[in-house]
Amino acid sequence: MTEQKNTQAIGMAFMGMIFFLFGFVTTFNITLADKFKAVFELSNFQAQLVNGAFFFTYFVLSFTAGGIIKRIGYKAGVILGLLLVAVGSFLFFPAAKAISFPFFLFAIFIMAGGVVFLQTAANPYVTALGPSKTASGRLNLTQALNSIATYIAPLLAGLFVFKTAATAALNTAESVPTTPFLIIAIVVIFIAIAIYFLRLPEISTKSVEKKSVWSHTHTILGAVGIFCYVGAEVGSAAMLQRYFQEALQMARNDAALMIALYWGGAMVGRFYGSFMLSDVEKSKKYLYAVLVVALAMFVGWFVRKEITDGLIFAGIAVVNYLAMQLGRGNASRSLAVFGLIAALLLVVVMAVNGPIILWVGLSIGFFNSIMFPNIFALGVDGLDKGELSMASGLINTMIVGGAVVPVLMGLMADGIGVRFSFILPIICYLYIVYFALVGSKHK
């Protein structure tokens, strides 16, 4: 029993590192959309092609990645993903020299291909490392580590990407910094080498029954839920950054820094989910909740070093915790509550004016928090371990929502204004409520 727990601990530590890595790569690329908009003088629609190139890769490769991982195993799949991330990172150098937006999109596409393999391998691996009833809690924990990276990435982008714009000529692609991508490439190569020599717990990729994942209705509806969730999360983040500049006359680098709190809220909410949706003792849950609120206060303060920001952010964290109580530790009920609240918050963003827009918009990140791990866990619930890699491939294919929804929001922003582009993620969140309450039930 002790050996099994140690093996699971090694597996979870390994997965935590991978989740952190692809969270950083994903969010750093998302934040670059506004930089490319300035450099190449793009429309909102064209700028969102940065997100489109990244997330369209999931549609192209995820199901194929699931099949490859089923044949070569999770460990080899992760190593392959890391090497692709390194190749895509190195391609930023010739793209900057060529002063070519399409070349940048190609580099992003290759990086995203690596992230697809990492994501397709990591999620089912975590669900298989223990009982299915606590799978949501484990996924929330690894997603919380992912969110630490998504919180850090916009801060680094604000410091090194957008501050560079103040001193560099905006009409040249060379003002897009390539040093961060060199660092990413070197780091992932070292990690790939380390993983190659590391002994990890093995998860079988052989099915008990010869059954297609297409026969599981809740898996298919869960895949649609992932489409809606990723589209709503990424689209809202991108358009909130634009809306803060437009409605609050906020500077570009300040808006990029504040968006870090959007992702920071997701991090805080996932730490809640990691113990609220697990079998941790009730007394310990209260202690952990206090620690998470303290973390939220630090996160809120850190961006602008203002205590008021820290107090507001901690207050939102308390509301987030109370909302989680409505879920009563149940993955589907908690998902429904959070989906409904996220939709209502966007309605408020559209309906009001003034500084309140900032904190209402940023608080959406808190309620995005448990969506991906809960949708994924509900979508693969009841499947045998041999079906997980293919189910993961199917579900991750629909992360293409991160390409489709933001681009459509960019078109709406160009046509009817940024404010009204939030109608689309509201619809997405309402579908997630439907999946939580109805679609996730086994047929």
What's the CA gap between 162 and 28, in Å, rounded?
Answer: 12
What's the CA gap between 438 and 283, in Å, rounded?
Answer: 32
pTM above threshold 0.85: no
- Helix or strand (DSSP H, E) at 221: helix 217-248
- Nearest CA to 22 out of 140, 129, 120 is that of 120
- The interaxial angle of helices 217-248 and 2-39, nearest 10 deg, is 40
| Range with the largest mean pLDDT of 1-15, 22-36, 257-271 | 257-271
What are the structural domains of the chain?
A: 2-197+215-439 (1.20.1250.20)
| Range with the largest mean pLDDT of 74-83, 99-108, 118-127, 204-213 | 74-83
CB 425 within 8 A of CB 346: yes
CB 293 within 8 A of CB 280: no
Please report the beta strands in 82-200, taking only residues with DSSP state E, as ranges in sequence order.
none
Average pLDDT over residues 168-196: 74
- Token pair 């890769």 is found at 57
Q: Indicate if the pLDDT at residue 414 is higher than 60.
A: yes
Average pLDDT over residues 244-263: 87
Greatest extent of the chain over all pairs of C-alpha atoms, in Å = 61
DSSP characters over 278-296: S---HHHHHHHHHHHHHHH
In this structure, what DSSP letter does residue 43 have? -
CB 340 within 8 A of CB 326: no
CB 59 within 8 A of CB 397: yes
Q: Indicate if the pLDDT at residue 348 is higher than 80.
A: yes
| Range with the largest mean pLDDT of 73-87, 124-138, 141-155, 418-432 | 418-432
- Nearest CA to 162 out of 248, 288, 38 is that of 38
Structure tokens at 80: 């392959």
Structure tokens at 374: 């809960």
pLDDT band per the 50, 70, 90 thresholds, residue 422: very high
Q: Indicate if the pLDDT at residue 172 is higher than 60.
A: no
Q: Indicate if the pLDDT at residue 3 is higher than 60.
A: no
